[in-house]
Amino acid sequence: KACWNWRFKFPLTLSSLIKYQRLTVSIWDKDIGANDNIGEATLTLDGWFKRLYRMGLGKRASQASYWSPQPPAKRDSDMSFGLESLTDAAESLFNKEPLLEDNDPELVENKFWLTLYNAERESAGMLMLSIQLVPKDLIGNLPAGDGRSEPNNNPKLPKPTGRLKFTLNPFVMCLRLLGPKICRRLICMLSCVACIVFVLWVLPVVFGNILSAPIVKVVS
């Protein structure tokens, strides 16, 4: 349950011989230690690029064009938006800004859900995104910065909100901030430390009783 609202821009030159154009999208779980790959998917864009080139988009600045999958992917019923990173945690607790402004009907129509798969080729969730090809001569008319930097337009991308929910339960907050994997590691480490402390505390008492038992028996 994550949300980024992030824009990536890549330069591209269309031609009639263009091929092997792939876009790989991967989602990673950012941990304190090693990061884990949650899932990924690869889109084949050759046919779209060649079709636009034949239509003349590669030769003249006519209009921007959105890519749309066939058939369009649908959203799972249990999917919801979330938080980009822990740096936005405090702000997300109180910020009620909408996740994304859907003022562009064309953008709304061309957004789609992409199914991601893990290393075992099992479904690892879905990601909503849109892909737009903008001719070089139209870039000035459609200004858009990288990520959420200025000019943050076409479309405007607000900071993600809504993932982190505040609670007074410290265990629940640790789970939400650190994630289940790190929490399991911490529980294992604390359990090992508790066992070592218990053994170090009990061992002298046990050995003391064993050594003192014969002496007490003789004295008695």
Q: Running DSSP on this structure, what letter comes out for residue 43?
A: E
Which residue did the predictor score with more confidence, 73 or 41? 41
List, for residues 62-114, the tens digit of each pLDDT value. 678 888 775 544 444 433 333 334 444 444 444 444 445 556 777 788 888 99
Q: What's the pTM?
A: 0.59
Predicted pLDDT of residue 98? 45
Supply 177's token pair: 């901030």
List, for residues 136-173, the tens digit of each pLDDT value. 888 888 888 999 899 988 888 888 765 566 778 877 77
Predicted pLDDT of residue 220? 64
Which among 38, 6, 2, 45 has a CA at the least distance from the CA of 22?
45
Which among 170, 183, 5 has a CA at the least distance from the CA of 84?
5
